[in-house]
Structure formats: structure tokens, C-alpha cells
Chain A
Amino acid sequence: MDRNSRPVTSAAGPAPGLGVDLAVEVAGLDLRNPVMTASGTFASGREFADFIDLSRLGALVTKGVSCEPWAGNDSPRIAETASGMLNSIGLQNPGVEAFCERDLAWLRGRDVPVIVNVSGHSVADYVAVVERLERETVVAAYEVNISCPNVDAGGMAFGTACAPAAEVTRAVRAVTRRPVIMKLSPNVTDIAEIARAVEAEGADAVSLINTLLGMAIDARTRRPKLARVVGGLSGPAIKPVALRMVWQVAHAVSVPVIGCGGIVTGEDAVEFLLAGATAVQVGTANFVDPTATMRVIDSIERYCARNGVACVRDLVGALEG
């Protein structure tokens, strides 16, 4: 499509609250708008409460939690790259028990749907975390991380082939009636195939993409910039890859797709909706601007108002071409 054939939203649009219907439904969850946080970029929200009203989020996706505490990787854990960053945090987390006591206790009563991101080294690990979380009423849904490139065992290993991805989905599906969202890895030959595999085992939605495996080297010292050598690339640099994969997966499955990867502005989010995502996640942008999610929500609303879109759902998959 000619980029000039539609009006383009500018930053200075009409004020929010102009009667645009921003609500979406994802995997049985009714969300007040399509904007979620991306796991690992928002902790459990507490750190952002000084800056934004968490109850305005479509949903809050927590940082990944595992059965036992994980110490994460050595430092340096990040490296800034062209229009993005690499990270190799390694899913550092205090374990599900401490997570329930500290994080979920704090989230109770915050009036925001809480989606807990679940990590594991084995299928049994994933199941154990979900079983523990089943006792917590504040949890609205699970996002199952089979795509972290920064842990040796588990993580991405489950998300890069159909059989293990299906196995994790089936095992988690068996122990919960809550919505199960599978978070997919872009580090595969055919992401649509993985999406179909998890859909077949009962996934209620898929979210994509997790980070792209990358590397940075300091030519001066001849050393890798990350202690772990490789890490996950995120930020605006990966948006074209993410858009392409969301578009492919949206054509391959009938469950909702949650789009993620390099979203900084409302216009970025709209592009993901047009590509077929029902909702979006804002990740790395939270590091640069703690109010990024609010800006994206307001900007989607302005885009809709300016373009005569009464209901944001009308944008989903509305790519012309």
C-alpha cells in the first residue's frame, strides 16, 4: 500500500476519551485495550507504579517465574546495539513461592488483568509452577515461555521444535482451565509450524516474538560484550521481523495472536494489529520511557479517532494489499 494513501497519525492528535472502543478479547480475557506489557521488561509492575496508573493497562504480563529461584547470568548482561539492545539476564527470579508472597500479594486489588509468565528447565517444572499458581486468584492467565534464548536448559529449547513445544502446551493445558498463551521464539525456520503445533494442543493464544538470538563484540578489547557471549536482541531493530512473523502466524492459526517486538509508538502497535495481532506487548520501550505503555494506548486511540475507526478490533488483520 502506498504509505501516503491514508492519513498518518501525528503525536499531537485529539485528546483521548473520544469514544473509541478500545476493548479486545484475547483467549477469553476481556481487556480494556489491546496493550500489555512484555514479560521481563516490567517486573511485576511495582517499579512502574510511580510513573503510571497500572489499571489503565490492557493486561500486565509479569517477568518469568520458575519453580525454584534462578540466579540468572553473569554481568555484563546487556549491550546497546543499533536501534535496540541485547540482553542475557537469564530469567533471574526468586522462584514461584516468593513470587506469590511478594509480587502477587502486591498485585492483588490493582484492577488489572495479571498474566503470569512461566519458565522451566523441564516439562515438570512448567507444570509445577502452574499448579502452584492455580491457588492464586489474582492470576488471570498464563504466558508460557518456551522461547528464552538466555538459559541453557529449557527455555528456547522447548520452542524451537514442534514436538517439545506441543509437549509443554499439553502438560500445562492438563493442569489449568485458565487461558494458556504460548510465547514463541523467532529463532526457528518456520514459526507458523510451531504455532500450529501449540494450537493443536489447546493453547488459547500465542504471543510473539521473543528476542532474536544475537551477539555483540567490542573490537577494542576483542571480547564479547555480554558475559554469556550471546543474548536476545530486542527494540525497534527487530520490529520488521516481528511484524512478518505475526502476519505469518495470524494466517496459520485461528487462536488470537499477541504481537510483540520493537513497539515504541502507537503507530507501531497499529501496524501489529493490521498484521493480524489482536493485542500487543510493549517491552524494551519501557526501559527508555516508563510511561511508554500509556503513550501507546493514547496514541492508538488518537489513530482510531483520526481515521474513523470506531472500534479497535476493526484494525485486526485489516492489512490492505
Chain B
Amino acid sequence: MGAARTEWFHRPRGGRVTCSGADIATHPLLERVEVRRNERVAEGVGLLVLHAPRIAATIEPGQFVHLRISTGADFILRRPFSVHRASGETIEVLYQVLGRGTRELATREAGDVMDAVGPLGNGWRVPVGAAHALLVAGGLGAAPLGMLAERLAQGGIAVSVAQGAPTAERLLARDLFDAAARRVVVATDDGSAGETGFVTGPSARLIAEDRPDVVYVCGPEIMTRAVAAQAAAAGIPCQVSLERLMACGIGACLSCVVTTTSGRKRACVDGPVFDAEEVCWDGSELPPRH
């Protein structure tokens, strides 16, 4: 990006700017949470609603929780999940059933308890003076963008959304996007909704036509990287939320590193949201799963 470095502001709950550029020092906590609902929302995708009053009270869009899915005799690491929505005393998590942890999570029922560490990580930030934001979501990447769309709209910022998924059924968080955005353009692999193809088609068009002040991206890394390149070519600041295999989630184990222009950073505490311009994509790895 040729422009001078963007000045970012956090925009906490209620939309009041309280803190400049520097990262907010978040203090995660360990909270015993209760499952309120756990339901299938699409093929292979679940929605988990947790009663987590302490985390719900402070979590910001783009932050995540680290869930201890099983405490049985078998040893399972925590799994990190973006918070999709926080309202009152509950948080909502969208998850894709991919491996051992998420298969186990899919069996949890209302009334089950587990412990959660959160809020974790640095969430999305809003550039000074931004009036119009473009959100680009791929697949489950819609999860952390849903809460952002809602919050931006509350703060008086115009929202456009480009969303892609394999099928119409897997266009997630549509209620949040439809309520918050003035324009939503979708693409599906099979053409069952919107145009047929990848989300990079709609994102390129919205960048060109709407000239947003900021672009927020979350999805498969290859898609994230392509959209970041589109934003960079247009000279628009861009933030990306990245996913890595994670053990501790609090910055100690150094499992989840992302290669950046200023060295290797931890996705858990330095991210998961990064300025796209600081990410060294050539050092990026295959998508995580365990």
C-alpha cells in the first residue's frame, strides 16, 4: 500500500472511540459457561449459544474464546472460536465440524457446562474518519464479521458485504448482514445463491464501485490473501482475521505464529486480526485442522 500508515482506532461497545492506535490490553478470564443451545444450522455447521455473562460483557468484534470441550480422561486441547454474536449474557459461536474437537462439541447439549477462556486476541479496528466499510466473508469466515457488521451499523458506519460459500445453505450470519448492510452481494460455488464462483468476484466489484474506506476480510487464507491484494491495489486499508492451530491461546506456547514484516507474531494475542499490509503471505501455511 502506497499511502501513509493508517491511523486505527478501536471502537468499543456503544461506538465511542476511547483508545488510539495501540493495542488494548485485554484481560482474559476463565469462565464456567453453560450451553443454552447447540444446533445444526447448515451441513456440517453448528451454532453454539453459551451463557457466559462475564465474557459477553467485554468481548469485542473479532475476538475469540478458547473452549475446553472435554474434561474427560482423554486429553483434548482447547479449541478457539470467533464469537459471532454477543448479546446480554450470552455469546454465540459458529463452528464447522472438522475434527475431533468439533465432533465432540457437536454432541454437547443445553445444560452442559464447560470452561471458556476469553475474550482473547485483538479484534477489528476502525480507521479514523471511516464512513463506509466493506466486509468480505468466505464460508465460516462470516462468524467474526457478523458481530462487526452489527457494531459498525450501530456506530453509523455504512456497511457493504461480499459473501461467499459452497452452497446457499452455508451462507452464514445472513440475518446480521441483512440487518446491518445496505448492500450484500453473494457468490456460491454451485450457484444456488447469487452468482456462481468465488467471493473474489463480488469483492473486486464492491471495492471498485463503492470505494469503501476500509476492507475487513475473514475466510480461507487463499481467499483472504486475494482480497487483501485487491484492497492494496485500490489503496484501501485492509484488516484480515487469520486462523492457526493453537494450543494455549494466551500467548505462551508460540504454536500459532504468523509471519509478518516485523517478525513472527502470535495469532492468539497479537492477532487474530492483522493489518493486511504487515502479513507476509509467502510464509503462510496450509489451513489448520485437528
Q: Is residue B248 within 8 Å, beta carbon to beta carbon, of the partner chain?
A: yes
**A26 CA / B217 CA spacing, docked (Å):** 52
Considering only residues 224-268 of chain B, those with a C-beta below 8 Å from chain A are 244-245, 247-248, 250-257, 263-264
B252-A71 in contact (CB<8A): no
Q: Is residue B68 within 8 Å, beta carbon to beta carbon, of the partner chain?
A: yes
Question: How does the 8 Å CB contact mask read for B75-117 relative to A, with 1 for contact and 0 for none?
Answer: 1111000000000000000000000100000000000000101
- Among A71, A236, A290, contact of B75 (Cβ-Cβ < 8 Å): A236
Closest B residue to A226 by beta carbon equals B245
Interface residue SS majority, chain A: loop
Considering only residues 262-299 of chain A, those with a C-beta below 8 Å from chain B are 264, 284, 286-291
- Among A76, A82, A227, A287, contact of B253 (Cβ-Cβ < 8 Å): A287
Q: Is residue B286 within 8 Å, beta carbon to beta carbon, of the partner chain?
A: yes
Considering only residues 160-206 of chain B, those with a C-beta below 8 Å from chain A are none
B247-A78 in contact (CB<8A): yes
Interface residue SS majority, chain B: loop
Minimum distance in angstroms from B247 CB to a CB of chain A: 4
Minimum distance in angstroms from B32 CB to a CB of chain A: 12
B75-A288 in contact (CB<8A): yes
Interface segment out of the listed B2-10, B12-20, B23-31, B130-138:
B23-31
Q: Is residue A106 within 8 Å, beta carbon to beta carbon, of the partner chain?
A: no
Considering only residues 268-290 of chain B, those with a C-beta below 8 Å from chain A are 269, 283, 285-286, 288, 290
Considering only residues 45-70 of chain A, those with a C-beta below 8 Å from chain B are 47-48, 50-51, 63
**A264 CA / B78 CA spacing, docked (Å):** 15
Closest A residue to B30 by beta carbon equals A51
Given A47-B252, A290-B250, A77 contacting B257 (CB threshold 8 A): yes
A83-B251 in contact (CB<8A): no
Which residues of A sit under 8 angstroms from B290, Cβ to Cβ? 79-80, 225
- Among A77, A84, A236, A237, contact of B245 (Cβ-Cβ < 8 Å): A77
Given A80-B100, A89-B253, A286 contacting B248 (CB threshold 8 A): yes
B251-A76 in contact (CB<8A): no
B283-A77 in contact (CB<8A): no
Q: Is residue A43 within 8 Å, beta carbon to beta carbon, of the partner chain?
A: yes
**A92 CA / B115 CA spacing, docked (Å):** 29
Q: Is residue B74 within 8 Å, beta carbon to beta carbon, of the partner chain?
A: yes
Q: How many residues does chain B have at the interface if contact means C-beta atoms less than 8 Å apart?
A: 33
A89-B254 in contact (CB<8A): yes
Which residues of A sit under 8 angstroms from B263, Cβ to Cβ? 71
Minimum distance in angstroms from A234 CB to a CB of chain B: 10
Closest A residue to B100 by beta carbon equals A80
Which residues of B sit under 8 angstroms from A30, Cβ to Cβ? none
Closest A residue to B269 by beta carbon equals A47
Given A47-B248, A80-B290, A287 contacting B78 (CB threshold 8 A): yes
Considering only residues 53-82 of chain B, those with a C-beta below 8 Å from chain A are 68, 74-78
Minimum distance in angstroms from B285 CB to a CB of chain A: 5
**A78 CA / B251 CA spacing, docked (Å):** 14
**A236 CA / B71 CA spacing, docked (Å):** 13
Which residues of B sit under 8 angstroms from A111, Cβ to Cβ? none
Closest B residue to A71 by beta carbon equals B264
**A48 CA / B254 CA spacing, docked (Å):** 14
Which residues of B sit under 8 angstroms from A221, Cβ to Cβ? 286
Which residues of A sit under 8 angstroms from B115, Cβ to Cβ? 289
Minimum distance in angstroms from A235 CB to a CB of chain B: 5
**A286 CA / B248 CA spacing, docked (Å):** 7
Considering only residues 79-108 of chain A, those with a C-beta below 8 Å from chain B are 79-80, 82-85, 87, 89, 92
- Among B27, B68, B244, B253, contact of A50 (Cβ-Cβ < 8 Å): B27
Minimum distance in angstroms from A304 CB to a CB of chain B: 24
A72-B77 in contact (CB<8A): no
**A79 CA / B244 CA spacing, docked (Å):** 11
**A83 CA / B76 CA spacing, docked (Å):** 7
Q: Is residue A42 within 8 Å, beta carbon to beta carbon, of the partner chain?
A: yes
Given A42-B252, A50-B29, A71-B264, A287 contacting B247 (CB threshold 8 A): yes
Can you add 19 more A-B contacts, CB < 8 Å, to A77-B245, A79-B245, A221-B286?
A42-B252, A47-B248, A47-B250, A50-B27, A50-B29, A63-B252, A71-B263, A74-B285, A75-B245, A76-B286, A76-B288, A77-B257, A78-B253, A79-B290, A84-B75, A87-B253, A223-B286, A290-B30, A290-B250
A-B contact pairs, 25 of them (CB 8 A): A42-B252, A43-B251, A47-B252, A47-B269, A51-B30, A72-B264, A75-B255, A75-B257, A76-B285, A77-B254, A78-B245, A79-B290, A80-B290, A82-B74, A83-B74, A84-B75, A237-B75, A287-B252, A287-B253, A288-B68, A288-B77, A289-B115, A290-B30, A290-B117, A290-B248
| B residues at A contact (CB < 8 Å) | 27-30, 68, 74-78, 100, 115, 117, 244-245, 247-248, 250-257, 263-264, 269, 283, 285-286, 288, 290
| A residues at B contact (CB < 8 Å) | 40-43, 47-48, 50-51, 63, 71-72, 74-80, 82-85, 87, 89, 92, 221, 223, 225, 227, 235-237, 264, 284, 286-291
